């Protein structure tokens, strides 16, 4: 059966672009499908300070632009074509496009990423990347000597609050309940840290600021309805991530909490289907490990394609 491509990559963030670079350089018949501009979440990142090879850092837009330009050097085909569904279990994979029609291929790399959960309060969108962050591991060094707030009470929030204390002078942890959901060992470490102060039974109602960025956060106690405010220069919203899996056949794939489960070589539970980046089930989500996973996914896909029986 004739197929449109050997390999299709779904998603054009750092993972998808890296997979595309390796596939095009290997001279595979490949196309990358992206619903918007190449770059993914990194396009919304003000400054990237921890990606190797850029000692002075660079904007998220510039990093995405450089990654895209490198793929074009090897003539990677990038199509702005949202995918609405997939059939992956057969030897020939079929992808359904929003514009109508389908594309077929022998192998697929899923790199659709994830997005942070938002608190949806005034100021959150306005000050995104100007004091509102969704990744303390990424942005903590920008808050050296400052006062910040963390929203959340799970493992990620408490881990990252502790990480922030390496840089910030003070970290307020704002949690809607009177006890944390984080594991006991993380709780004990946070409670022992004199730079962390907990604000219990409280939800944020607004983030305030000016031209320079965030200057404060408005709060309400859920038990007393009493309102208050804190002067902070950063707000870290750490209430979990949602995988971009709406277009995936979840019933066909092995998943954990909506994220795709892979082995070390980035194979999913379906032969010929690989995954990389923020979409996969893992503990850490950084640009650098997304790039490494995508490299492995593409090499695994290349190996898979090379060992298919001749038609």
As annotated, the active-site residues are 135, 138-139
197-208 burial, b for 16+ CB within 10 Å, e for fewer?
A: ebbbbbbbbebb
Report whether 183 contacts 154 (CB < 8 A).
no
Alpha helices in the chain, H assignment, sequence order: 14-25, 60-73, 136-139, 155-164, 184-191, 287-306
The rounded Cα 202 to chain-centroid distance in angstroms is 27
Beta strands 77-80 and 114-116, pairing class: unpaired
Nearest one of 2, 14, 7, 11 to 293, comparing CA atoms: 14
Q: What are phi and psi of 247, to 5 degrees?
A: -95, 0
- What's the rounded Cα separation, in Å, for the pair 97 and 103? 8
Longest dimension (CA), the chain: 71
Helix (H, G, I), strand (E, B) or coil at 38: coil
The owner of tokens 């404060």 is 216
- Record the tokens describing residue 194, joined without a space: 């004199």
Quick one: residue 39, left, alpha or beta (phi over 0 = left, psi -120 to 50 = alpha)? left
CA-nearest of 275, 282, 281, 271 to 305 is 271
């Amino acid at each position: 059966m004739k197929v449109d491509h050997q390999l299709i990559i779904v998603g054009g963030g750092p993972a998808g672009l890296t997979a595309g670079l390796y596939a095009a350089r290997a001279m595979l018949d490949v196309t990358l499908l992206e619903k918007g501009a190449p770059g993914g979440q990194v396009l919304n990142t003000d400054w990237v300070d921890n990606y190797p090879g850029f000692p002075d850092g660079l904007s998220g837009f510039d990093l995405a632009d450089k990654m895209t330009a490198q793929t074009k050097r090897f003539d990677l085909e990038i199509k702005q074509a949202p995918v609405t569904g997939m059939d992956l279990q057969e030897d020939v994979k079929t992808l359904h496009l929003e514009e109508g029609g389908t594309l077929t291929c022998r192998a697929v790399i899923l790199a659709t990423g994830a997005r942070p959960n938002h608190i949806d309060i005034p100021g959150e969108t306005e000050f995104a990347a100007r004091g509102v962050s969704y990744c303390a591991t990424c942005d903590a060094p920008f808050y050296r000597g400052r006062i910040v707030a963390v929203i959340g009470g799970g493992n990620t929030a408490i881990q990252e609050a502790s990480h922030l204390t390496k840089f910030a002078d003070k970290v307020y942890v704002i949690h809607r309940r009177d006890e944390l959901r984080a594991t006991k060992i993380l709780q004990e470490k946070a409670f022992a840290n004199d730079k962390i102060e907990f604000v219990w039974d409280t939800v944020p109602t607004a983030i305030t600021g000016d031209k320079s960025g965030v200057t404060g956060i408005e709060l309400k106690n859920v038990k007393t309805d009493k309102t208050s405010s804190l002067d902070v220069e950063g707000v870290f919203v750490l209430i979990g991530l949602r995988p971009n899996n709406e277009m995936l056949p979840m019933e066909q794939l092995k998943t954990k909490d909506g994220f795709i489960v892979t082995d070390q070589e980035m194979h999913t539970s379906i032969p010929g289907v690989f995954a990389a980046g923020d979409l996969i089930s893992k503990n850490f989500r950084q640009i650098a490990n997304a790039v490494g996973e995508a490299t492995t996914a593409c090499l695994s896909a290349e190996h898979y394609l090379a060992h298919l029986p001749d038609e």
